């Protein structure tokens, strides 16, 4: 079963996405903040990481930078999730090494297609 790590600080968003992704056959593990997201990326070795960018003390971009800097987890594709579809956010995501970018609230079919694209692409 494909494992997804969801890094998201809002409990309801975490619950919703977990349930919806589970229903589509993914195994979902969750991290409520940046540091635990970085830690779990190594412990759980997920196939894809969904990273909320607005996370409080350590934001999603910082966490992604740390994940990408660690050789053992550098290959895991990260999809950034933000509230705004801003070019600046998208640019930032690319800069820190995100494979893709999506906006919240999540449009599930669109997110699924992005996840599948990441899974099919050769490891980055």
Partner 1 sequence: MARVQEESSALDRFIDWFIPPELAAQREKRQLARMFLISHLCGPLLGNVVPGAVWFLEGRPTFPMAILAASITAFWVFPFLLKWFGRYNLLCFVSVQNLMFCILWSCYFYGGVTSPTLPWVLTIPLLTFFYIGPSPKLRIMALCQFACNFSIFFLLYRLIPAPPPPISSEVVGLQVLGIVSTLACAGYVTMMALYYRRILDSGAELEAEMRGHLATAAELRRATAEAGRAGAAKAEFVASMSHELRTPLNAVIGYSQMLLEDAEDEQDDQSVADLQKIHKAGKHLLRLVNEVLDLSKIEAGKMELVREETPVAEFLASVVEEQRAEAEAKGIGLRFQPSGDLGNAKWDADRVRQALSGMLDNAVKFTDQGHVILSAERTPGKAPTLVIRITDTGVGIDPQMLPHLFEKFTVAHDTTASKYGDTGLGLALSLALCKLMGGDISVQSTVGEGSCFTVTLPAAPAGARRKARETAPAAPARKRAAA
Which residues contact partner 1 by CB under 8 A?
10, 12-13, 16-17, 19-20, 23, 83-88, 91, 104-106, 108
Strands 27-31, 3-7: pairing is parallel
Nearer to partner 1, 68 or 104 (CB): 104
The minimum distance between CB 58 and partner 1, in angstroms, equals 19
The minimum distance between CB 22 and partner 1, in angstroms, equals 11
- Closest of 113, 122, 109, 115 to residue 51, by C-alpha: 115
Nearer to partner 1, 25 or 71 (CB): 25
The minimum distance between CB 43 and partner 1, in angstroms, equals 27
- Residue 115 half-sphere exposure toward CB, CA atoms < 13 A: 24
Residue 100's CB: how many other CB atoms inside 10 A? 21
């Amino acid at each position: 079963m494909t494992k997804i790590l969801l890094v998201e600080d809002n409990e309801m968003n975490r619950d919703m996405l977990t349930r919806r992704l589970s229903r589509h056959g993914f195994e979902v593990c969750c991290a409520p903040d940046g540091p635990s997201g970085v830690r779990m990326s190594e412990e759980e070795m997920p196939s894809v990481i969904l990273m909320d960018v607005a996370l409080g003390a350590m934001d999603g971009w910082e966490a992604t930078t740390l994940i990408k800097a660690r050789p053992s987890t550098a290959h895991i594709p990260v999809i950034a999730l933000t509230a705004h579809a801003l070019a600046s956010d998208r640019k930032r995501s690319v800069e820190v090494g995100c494979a893709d970018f999506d906006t919240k609230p999540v449009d599930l079919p669109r997110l699924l297609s992005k996840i599948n694209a990441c899974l099919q692409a050769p490891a980055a």
